[in-house]
Structure 1
């Protein structure tokens, strides 16, 4: 059953405003700042970089329906309309030849039931809208503020220490500083995680849409809003439009997952510039037209994924710091749900913490956050890893079996909705609906309808 409740809800203000210090001013941090600010709390965001580095970023992000619905509820969907592209389908191709062997259509009937679409739009545009929204609800956002540590104990409020010695205190610290950030280490008691370095390097770049239009064999990619995936030997390439209006320079986003492509890619964020020709050298197994297209890019960024153990809690032992976004979930970069999980975290915090009636409830609310978010995080983590492995099989028996299965399934996808096999649709969409239909705000409402009266009773007894 696809639910549509919990949307269009009016802002609700807390009776017990607290001060939250957010480490990290990327999308995860700003989303939390907005959600908590409109719930009536005081918010301070500490970002190590400057505004320009975020607002000018044209790298496209994918917004699955569970994220697109949050943007609608926050009033940001309309603000992004001029730059968004609605995805029609996913097309899978043989990397060596470009042959289309797989198709997954985002059927209009299913998208309508989900209440949202799969969208593409630039990171910088979403960041700008979240920044303005956070400031509008009273958040204080401080740039060029590098956090070096967090001091905390159950007996005192947590204090964030900056590189210049400045101390910023609050009632709770929210770590939104990524996989390798300081916040995750603090939750783990100051220990470094070794993790497993993924065998694939990940790169991202953008090429002008005109470069595709000028190439006959690639021109079809400009004629539909598809999400194309080229399957290679142990890796793959994703491609899709990045901007959807004549007001901006049209671009085509390309994301690469290449096996053992570079041992010098070590950073876990998107700050490492990488030479385009360095990527081209690792594309021998792909069509010449793709290699030629990549050569037209003016720059690329790279990132290395380190798979770490799942956390048993997103909070530290003192309940003074909580993790959100990549810092919490450790998904592979460029996954469908990276940004979506961050917005779900923010929505969960906002819908939980407007209900605070006493500061003594805070630890219990962090426990509820874990109860709601840990299972969802684990489910998405499993799903995204399975997709990554499926799309990057090395050449061999499993890859041949995959390709043959995709060819057979594509014939069913080509049928009109009224002619489609119901059992096929159900089996093919079951996993996607589980990912796409999740409503973070509704999950809080459901929990509260069952247990909220006990929380209120506990608060009354404690006061």
Structure 2
């Protein structure tokens, strides 16, 4: 439990789940001087999926934690983003990371999810940050009041604070709510093709996608396609498509026939169809899931809180899933880097949620708006969207979304709480 022999006290923190959310929060809290143990049910760390985009609101946190250099060893840095019609016509070139209004100087990067996890672990080890990770440790019970965890082995672990970072299908979330709360499918399906670009030469129509690292987005009725390079020579080609009437909800990637992908983009840019023909390309598909928006992330005991996808899983249409998990970690680390007594933990979690839940909710709703905008059929709404993109209206969204400092927000919120408490007590 809490070490009261030193000032500020060292708090013991248990984290359930060692995905990107759990690992980032463990890193941030350990750097803040807390004693952190992470429990992961899998015997080996692995991330489902392939490519991931990290915008400056995420990479500035990696920079703050001192692990960005390690991450950049594995990452690609797109020069720009290009919006296209489904037929391939360029609507706008959008390099928002170099927009002069952005104060944040952290880069926009794309990276394989497994490489990001590997880089975070390597950065933690290289910097000598003390995080204990227990693999193959399945949690069978959470006592939210004590708080403590019971493992499948029968071992009970007590702490000052527990974080539930166990993803969309969170055991912790169901336990805290007192009922099953499974993710639900709105009927959107993802098709992903990993294209080995070493097979693409200068005579191939997709050569430009190989020679110039960029994020490309094709928008058409019912869905959109996004592409970018990962691991320097693999093109991550992803289609998000509304398939409400025929979708069979399956969790996690399943092998898919390339013809399925091809049929969804019939009549779209010929370059996309040529990419599907590249030798060695592999197609997978999976169903997108959402969770109900929660009115509260923390347990009434004030000693447990949900973070990451367990608290606010969102669709990938704004490329903010990992970034929002990192923002959780940034705010937690900022609050608990300042003196927090054990009896103040409930206040700290309340301040954390007051900072994070409104922004995460805004991101969720803007993501849904973006998904709808990307999937417009040809017509007046689509024409107006294209006019807005050409005018640079998307910069306003990027400015709000990316030019954000979670650490500063967390620090200022906790200082305001302490100041208000002092005034309230008449000190």
- TM interval, shorter chain, is 0.7 to 0.9
1:8 aligned partner = none
Structure 1 residues 124 and 98 mapped into 2: Cα distance closer, same or farther (>3 Å)? same
Gaps of 5+ in 1: 1-12, 245-249, 411-423
2:63 aligned partner = 72
Note if contact 2:308-2:328 (Cα within 8 Å) is conserved in structure 1.
yes
Structure 1 residues 34 and 194 mapped into 2: Cα distance closer, same or farther (>3 Å)? closer
Structure 1 residues 180 and 394 mapped into 2: Cα distance closer, same or farther (>3 Å)? farther
1:60 aligned partner = 51
2:32 aligned partner = 39
1:115 aligned partner = 105
Structure 1 residues 231 and 191 mapped into 2: Cα distance closer, same or farther (>3 Å)? same
SS, match of residue 332 in structure 2: helix
2:247 aligned partner = 263
1:6 aligned partner = none
Q: Measure the CA separation in 1 of the matches of 2:201 and 2:42.
A: 36
Note if contact 2:317-2:367 (Cα within 8 Å) is conserved in structure 1.
no
Structure 1 residues 215 and 60 mapped into 2: Cα distance closer, same or farther (>3 Å)? farther
> CA deviation digits over 1:311-360, x for unaligned, max 9?
22211222232111111112103642111111111111111113244211
Shift of residue 171 of structure 1?
2.1
Q: Measure the CA separation in 1 of the matches of 2:14 and 2:97.
A: 42
Which of 159, 168, 171 pairs up with 2:160?
A: 171
Note if contact 2:348-2:414 (Cα within 8 Å) is conserved in structure 1.
no
Gaps of 5+ in 2: 1-5
Q: Map of 1:353-368 to 2, 5 A cutoff?
A: 353-368=336-351
1:275 partnered with 2:252:
no
Note if contact 1:203-1:255 (Cα within 8 Å) is conserved in structure 2.
yes
Q: Measure the CA separation in 2 of the matches of 1:378 and 1:40.
A: 30
Shift of residue 368 of structure 1?
0.5
Note if contact 1:160-1:169 (Cα within 8 Å) is conserved in structure 2.
yes
Q: Measure the CA separation in 2 of the matches of 1:457 and 1:302.
A: 56
Structure 1 residues 203 and 172 mapped into 2: Cα distance closer, same or farther (>3 Å)? farther
Shift of residue 263 of structure 1?
2.0
Q: Measure the CA separation in 2 of the matches of 1:390 and 1:280.
A: 22
1:243 aligned partner = 231
Q: Measure the CA separation in 2 of the matches of 1:14 and 1:201.
A: 51
Shift of residue 148 of structure 1?
3.3
Q: Map of 1:64-143 to 2, 5 A cutoff?
A: 64-95=55-86, 97-106=87-96, 108-110=98-100, 113-134=103-124, 136-143=128-135
SS, match of residue 402 in structure 1: helix
Q: Measure the CA separation in 2 of the matches of 1:309 and 1:288.
A: 39
Note if contact 2:71-2:120 (Cα within 8 Å) is conserved in structure 1.
no
Structure 1 residues 87 and 358 mapped into 2: Cα distance closer, same or farther (>3 Å)? same
Structure 1 residues 212 and 298 mapped into 2: Cα distance closer, same or farther (>3 Å)? closer
1:350 aligned partner = 333
Q: Measure the CA separation in 2 of the matches of 1:395 and 1:183.
A: 44
State the aligned residue count: 417
2:371 aligned partner = 388
Root-mean-square deviation (CA), in Å?
A: 2.8
1:5 aligned partner = none
> CA deviation digits over 1:117-170, x for unaligned, max 9?
2211222222112223445322111122233331232xxx22223334443332
Q: Map of 1:155-194 to 2, 5 A cutoff?
A: 157-192=146-181
1:217 partnered with 2:205:
yes
1:290 partnered with 2:272:
yes
Structure 1 residues 126 and 111 mapped into 2: Cα distance closer, same or farther (>3 Å)? farther
SS, match of residue 247 in structure 2: coil
Shift of residue 37 of structure 1?
1.1
Structure 1 stretch displaced more, 107-116 or 235-244: 107-116
Q: Map of 1:301-320 to 2, 5 A cutoff?
A: 301-320=284-303
